[in-house]
Amino acid sequence: MVDHDKRRAEIVRAVWDVIGRHGIEGATVRRVAEHAGISMGGLRHYFESQHGLLHFAALAIGTNVSARVEAQLHSTADAADRASLLLEAMLPLDDERRGEADVWLAFLVRSHVDDTLRDLRSQAWTGTRHVCRLAVGLVRDVAAPETVGGELPDVHLEQWAEHLHVVIDGLTLQATSYPDRFSADDLRATVRRHLSLVAGANLAPDRGRDSRTAPRPAP
């Protein structure tokens, strides 16, 4: 009769919209139902509790990001570009993904208080760290760990992966908090700048692609 999974995806989308507009505490069953164009009872046919609904919505974000990363993994670009694209896949480069990151941050903060989200948080950390290790492996032409959680063969390289991880999280936080100050080009340029640091600082610090050299007035 009705594609169950598709309907659930639509509802999850409504959850994201509502959280983006009203915060996670504003994601009430009534509001989500209204935003999804169904009734409270209808909503409860797909999610039997508010908690289950929010949990599923949080999980779906991870799936989204993973899919983007996976797509870049099999790219045919050269190593340096592939490293950039991998990291950029995790950054909020447009409004759509800014909203996504916003909702993710909301869940991350809530996970500090809601233990049922702890696994999600820990898993996200491991996943992000893995992508950073892949990026380091690419720029330094070193064998990257095959399994998620595996480390790079050198402590020093691990430190660079940590470096990238911090930058990714910092950029995500800033880009969602101050969207006007961080254009997609800004983010991309910053990522490439840091990757050139990882590569060994024997490249030029930036390749003239940096749009920040034309300073925009703060809104």
Residue ranges binding DNA (CB under 7 A): 1-2, 4, 7, 26-31, 38-42, 44-46, 48-51
Q: Is the CB of residue 29 less than 8 Å from the CB of residue 43? A: yes
From the list a copy of itself, DNA, none, pick the one residue 193 interacts with, judged by a Cβ distance below 5 to 8 Å according to partner type. a copy of itself
What burial class does residue 92 get, using C-beta atoms within 10 Å of its C-beta: 0-12 exposed, 13-18 middle, 19+ buried? buried
**Rounded distance between C-alpha atoms, residue 47 and residue 56, angstroms:** 9
Binding mask 155-174 for a copy of itself (x = CB under 8 A): xx-xx--xx-xxxxxxx-xx
Q: Which of 28, 125, 207, 209: binder of a copy of itself (CB under 8 A)?
A: 125
CB 117 → DNA: shortest distance, Å?
15
**In this structure, what token pair is assigned to residue 91?**
């950054």
Cβ-based nearer residue to a copy of itself, 8 or 55: 55
Q: What is the DSSP string of 120-162?
A: HHHHHHHHHHHHHHHHHHHHHT-PPPSSTTPPPSSHHHHHHHH
Which candidate, 171, 180, 168, places its Cα nearest to that of 219? Answer: 180
- Residues binding a copy of itself: number (CB under 8 A): 53
Cβ-based nearer residue to DNA, 31 or 212: 31
SS3 content of the chain, % helix, strand, coil (to 5): 75, 0, 25
Window of 36-44, 70-78, 89-97, 209-217 that interacts with a copy of itself by CB under 8 A:
209-217
**Sign (positive or negative) of CA dihedral 163, 168, 171, 173:** negative
Q: Residues 93 to 122: which contact a copy of itself by CB under 8 A?
A: 102, 105-106, 108-114, 121-122
What burial class does residue 100 get, using C-beta atoms within 10 Å of its C-beta: 0-12 exposed, 13-18 middle, 19+ buried? buried
Cβ-based nearer residue to a copy of itself, 102 or 134: 102
From the list DNA, a copy of itself, none, pick the one residue 171 interacts with, judged by a Cβ distance below 5 to 8 Å according to partner type. a copy of itself
CB 108 → DNA: shortest distance, Å?
20
CB 30 → a copy of itself: shortest distance, Å?
16
**Rounded distance between C-alpha atoms, residue 177 and residue 76, angstroms:** 33
Q: Name the site residues for a copy of itself (rule: CB under 8 A).
A: 20-26, 102, 105-106, 108-114, 121-122, 125, 151, 153-156, 158-159, 162-163, 165-171, 173-174, 176-178, 181, 190, 193, 197, 201, 205, 210, 212-213, 215-216, 219
